[in-house]
A and B are shown apart, each in its own frame.
Chain A
């Protein structure tokens, strides 16, 4: 019967001190009653093997002890969906900006690359800890106040029209992240190509264009991430898209007017020829400005139509635009 005592001791290890003796006494009595029954059934005293069988059938000590504990969780099922949403938002509006900042620092300050990953881990750890602790405290102290029951049906968000396909948002995000990385790594210097056989240098205006486009990419990426988690257009996001499209095409038109090719050097080609080529490129870029403005205007019109439709759902749907 030593096995029973050892089993009870093991169960007792996992029990709360306050109830331990009471639970163990009852459990002990139940096991002994079962053993008595088994002895009557077998017509002999039980062996250690029989006791082992009885105990195994009852389950492991930790499992048995756990059944006596109330179900506990740091964040319960009521708050859990809100917790997940807040965690996602925190990653979107806190973690992603940090990723961008650290990427920039790593690109322009190579000595910082080693620390960038440490900082990133700290950012993730801080977000997770802060949000989880906040919700654990809410669960413990505020849920009982019934604050979730104080709601007004009239304040519910409007019906979600103008849905955005999640696959479109994901494609946009992936494309923008790759494009931003490429832009940062390969296009930051005005010396766009610097090989022995070919060298192309851009005008100083390039620096302004470079940073403006990079900021535009970040804003567009933020809108795409917001679209991914909230897959329907809001007036604010539609205005941001209109603004980024207008600024983007405007900047491109401005760049074309700026005689952006400052110098082209090709091995074994006389300088006056390459200067003439650079002049032609600048000239045709300047002449293409009306086309660029027209294309930008067309896209801006699409964006305006989207805003009108969000504000007034009765406006007829144009097939192409609904997919934008």
Chain B
């Protein structure tokens, strides 16, 4: 009984840490995918095809937040007889994506080094 509670606790801790780790990475991934203009559904599929599943209730609020921050621009357009909202990186978004990628590569290199030292 005690062991199963401990396992559940560890599972919850792992899940929280995993989500925390993913959160920042998802932003970079979304920005990177939007170098090419896409609408929400195709963006989600593109991310999933590259191995980063993201549910719609996370993706759309994130897109809105990034747009409010000026990193994305969007426009409603008709495609296949349906109105769709297309997103792409703004000039500010491009600049910030470049900085974020540099930061991410730096962190990644440091982590690799730390892991090799162990």
Chain A residues within CB distance 8 Å of chain B:
19, 23, 25-27, 29-30, 32-34, 58-59, 63-64, 67-68
Interface residues of B in 55-98 (CB under 8 A from A): 55-58, 60-61, 64, 76, 82-85
Most buried by A among B40, B57, B76: B57
Q: How large is the interface on B (under 10, 10 to 19, 20 to 34, 35 or more residues)?
A: 10 to 19
Q: Name the distance in Å between B68's Cβ and chain A's nearest Cβ.
A: 10
Whole-angstrom distance between the Cβ of A35 and the nearest chain B Cβ: 11
Q: In the assembled complex, how far is the CB of residue A45 from the closest CB belonging to chain B, in whole angstroms?
A: 17
In the assembled complex, the Cα of A77 lies from the Cα of B58 at a distance in Å of 23
Which residue from chain A places its CB closest to the CB of B44 in the assembled complex?
Answer: A30
Kindly state the separation between the CA atoms of A86 and B83 in the bound complex, as whole angstroms. Answer: 54
Q: Give the residues in chain B near A29, CB-CB below 8 Å.
A: 39-41, 82-85
Chain A contact residues, majority secondary structure? helix
Q: Which residue of B lies closest to A31 (CB)?
A: B56
Q: What would 13 A/B residue contacts be, using CB atoms closer than 8 Å? A: A19-B64, A23-B64, A25-B85, A26-B40, A27-B60, A29-B41, A29-B82, A29-B84, A30-B56, A58-B57, A59-B57, A67-B60, A68-B61
Interface residue from B39, B58, B83 paired with A67 (Cβ < 8 Å): B58
Binding site for A on B (CB under 8 A): 39-41, 44, 55-58, 60-61, 64, 76, 82-85
Knowing A25-B83, A68-B64 touch, does A30 contact B41 (C-beta < 8 A)?
A: yes
Q: Which 3 A-B pairs have the closest CB atoms?
A: A33-B41, A67-B61, A67-B57
| Distance (whole angstroms) from the CB of B60 to the closest CB of chain A | 6
- Give chain A residues whose Cβ lies under 8 Å from the Cβ of B64: 19, 23, 68
With both chains docked as a complex, state the minimum distance between the C-beta of A262 and any C-beta of chain B, in angstroms.
Answer: 64
Residues of B within 8 A of A59 (CB): 55, 57
Q: How far is the CA of A32 from the CA of B41 in the complex (A)?
A: 10
Chain A min CB distance to B96 (Å): 20
Q: Contacts of B84 on A, CB cut-off 8 Å?
A: 29
Distance between A61 CB and nearest chain B CB, rounded to angstroms: 11
CB nearest to B62 among chain A residues: A67
What is the CA–CA distance of A32 and B39 in the complex, to the nearest angstrom?
13
Cα A231 to Cα B64 in complex, Å, equals: 49
The answer, among A34, A63, A64, A67, for a CB contact under 8 Å with B41, is A34
Measured CB to CB, the nearest residue on chain B to A32 is B82
**Which residues of A have CB within 8 Å of B76?**
25
Tell me the complex Cα distance, A103–B61, Å.
55
